[in-house]
Structure 1
Amino acid sequence: MINIESIDGYRYDLTGMGIHPLKLIIDSLSPRHESEIVEGRDGHVDLETTYDGRTLSASFYIESVDGYDYNQLRNQVYRLFNGKTYFYVIDVKEPKKRWKVKTASKFTVDKLSRIVGAFDLALMSTSPYAESIGTTLDELTFDKEKWQVGQGLVLENPVYVHQLPTFKIFNAGDVTVDPCQMPLRITFKGESTNLQIKNLTTGDTWAYTGITGVNDTITLDGIRSLINGVSVFGQTNKKVLSIAPGWNDFEITGASEFLISFDFRFYYY
C-alpha cells in the first residue's frame, strides 16, 4: 500500500477517491563513477563516485461509481500525477520515511471494464535518499507518530538543544547531512565574541569575527549565515557545518551564556 501527500502536507484519501494503490517499487542507488585514464597505464584512476537521483515505480487500479463517472476519475488521476507537481510517496510498511517525487514520463490508464482501469507510474526523485518525516526538534519517541523502528534511533535519547560548550549531536540516518544539499538549520542565541562552532567529528568549523549580545540570534540556514535575519556571511570564514552519520562531537568557543539548537531530518539509502 502507498500513501500520497502534497508538498504542503495534505494526505490524499486515495481509496475514497476511487484510486487504489497496489505496490511501490524502489530501485537501488544509481552510482555515477568519475574516472581518468593515464597514458601508458593499464586500467583507470577512480576519482569519485556520486549518485544520480532515485527512480521508483508504483501501480494502481481505479474503480468508478458507474460508467459515466469513469472518465472523470481518469481525469482526476491525470490531474494528480501531472508530471510538474512534486509530491511525497510513502510506503505504508515504512510509514515514517518519505520520497519527494514527481511523475517521470507519460502513462495510460488502461480501461479493464466499464468502471475499472489500471495504470503504472514511473517516478523520479532528484535526491537519491528517502527522508524522515520527523525532524530532530520533534520528540524522538515512537508514540509521537513521527518515527518508526528501523530508522536508526538509539536508546540514549539524543538531545538537539544545548547550553554547554561541549555536546553531542546524533544523526540517525545513513547519510551525512550537508547543508549545501539538504536542509539544516542551526540556531545560536546569546553573547559571543569571535564565535566558533566546531564539529570535531567531521573537522568542520564555522567562525564569526564579530560580537553578539544576549538577545541576538545567529541562524545558520543551509549555506546562509544570518544575525537577526540579516546576512553576515562576509564576516564569517565562509564555511558550513555538516553532520556525519552517528554521534558528532561539538565544541563552542568564544561564547558565554547561550542556547544552540539543531534542526534537520535524517536521510536513508
Structure 2
Amino acid sequence: MMKDRALLYDLNFNEVRLPEDSLGFRVHALELNLSSIDEENNFESIPGMPGQSLIYSRQGTRDVSLDLFIHAKDNHDYNLKRNRLYTLFRRMGVFFIASMQEPNKLLKVKVDGRYAPALMSRRQDVAEVEIPLAIIGQPYRISRYTSMDIHKNDIQFDGKWSAGMHLPAVGTTEDGIYMDYQYVFENQTNIEVFNPSDIDLYIKQHLDCKIEFECLTDMSEIRLLDALSKEFVFIDDLVAGDVVTIEGHRIKKNGQFDAGKFNDVYPTLLSNFDEVYQQYSINEMQVSAGVKVSFDFRYKYD
C-alpha cells in the first residue's frame, strides 16, 4: 500500500486531504522537494591582490515542489480526480506543506504556474504530476504549534512535536541548561528564554512572535534587555492591568497601536541550538520588576 510522504494544511493549521473516494482510489503525495535556502554573496576583487573579499552575504529564497501520484479506477475516474485536484489547489490559494517525516515543520506556499499530470505508459488510470510551488513570506519552515503550547502542556507524545526540532525532554539538562520550557515570568527580573529555532528571531521581522507585558502595579516604563544587550523601552503612565505587546513590528497598549512611546529597539531571541557544535544555550534576559511577561512564538527551521 502506497504511503503519503507529504502533508497539506490550511492557514488555520488544519490538515487538508487530497482527493479520495469511498473505494480507496485517491491522489497520493509522493514527495516534497525542498532545496536549501539560497545564499546570495557579493564579492570584491582588489587590483594587485590575489583572490577576492566577501562584501556581504544574504539569504534569498528556496525551490519547492510537490510530486503527486493519481491512482484512479479507470480513465473516467482519472479525469474526475484530476479535475478535483485542479480545483483543490485553486481554492486553497496559500497553504502550508510539510514532509511526513517532519510533520510539524510547515512551509507557507502557493501553486506557481501551470501543471498537467502525465499518464503512465499504456495506462489510463494512473498518472504522476509535479506541482510547482512558490514560498510565501520567509523561506523558513515554522512549527505548527507555539512556545505557549509547550509552556502549558510540556512536550507530550501527542503528535505536536517531532524529531529534528531541537527539543530535549522536559526536566533534562543539556550543556548545563535545565530544560523546563518556561515562557511566562511573573515579577521576575532575570529570566531565561529558550529558542530552539535554527535562526535568531529578530522580533520586528516575525509577526508570529509575540511578547506581552502585563503591568502588575502602576509604573512609568517597561524595559526588556535581550541577550545582545539591546534594550526595548516603553514609556507611559501605566496602571495595574495595562497590557503592552510586541507583535512583529507592531507595538500595542491595551490592544491599540501605540508605537510612539517606545525607543524603536526590538528584542532578539538568539537561536539556542548550534548545529555546527551540537550545543545548547539559553537567552538570558532582564525585564522590569512588577511585570508579567510572556513569550508566544513559532520556532523557525531550515
State TM-score, norm by structure 1. Answer: 0.90
Alpha carbons 1:29, 1:51 under 8 Å: kept: yes
Report what 2:221 is aligned to: 194
Partner of 2:27: 19
What do you get for the CA RMSD once the two structures are aligned? 2.1
2:183 paired residue number = 160
Distance 2:48 2:257 in 1: 51
Higher mean alpha-carbon deviation, 202-211 vs 214-223, is at: 202-211
Give, in angstroms, the shift of residue 232 of structure 1.
2.1
Give the count of matched residue pairs. Answer: 266
Q: Unmatched 5+ residue regions in structure 1? A: none
Equivalent positions of 1:1-269 (< 5 A) are: 1-14=5-18, 16=20, 18-36=26-44, 42-82=50-90, 85-112=93-120, 113-125=123-135, 126-139=137-150, 140-154=154-168, 155=172, 156-163=179-186, 164-182=188-206, 183-190=208-215, 191=217, 192-199=219-226, 201-246=227-272, 247-253=282-288, 255-256=289-290, 258-269=291-302
Q: Residue 86 of structure 1 contacts residue 101 of structure 1 at CA under 8 Å; is this kept in 2?
A: yes
C-alpha contact 2:165 2:196 (8 A) present in aligned 1: yes
Gaps of 5+ in 2: 173-178, 273-281
Structure 2 distance, partners of 1:50, 1:37, is 19
Please tell me whether the aligned partners of residues 205 and 249 of structure 2 are also in contact (alpha carbons under 8 angstroms): no
- Give, in whole Å, the separation in 2 of the partners of 1:130 and 1:151: 11
CA distance in 1, matches of 2:95, 2:256: 32
Distance in 2, matches of 1:43 and 1:85, equals 47
Shift of 1:175: 0.4
Conserved? CA contact 1:84–1:103, under 8 Å = no
Over 3 Å counting, the alpha-carbon distance change for 1:3 and 1:236 in structure 2 is same
What is the percent sequence identity of the aligned residues? Answer: 23
Could you list the per-position Cα deviations for residues 91-137 of structure 1 after superposition, in whole angstroms to 9, with x for gaps in the alignment?
11112211111223322111232322210123232422111111000
State the TM-score, normalized to the length of structure 2. 0.81
Cα distance in 2 for partners of 1:203, 1:44 equals 34
AA aligned opposite 1:116 = V
For residues 142 and 65 of structure 1, what CA distance do their matches in structure 2 show? 41
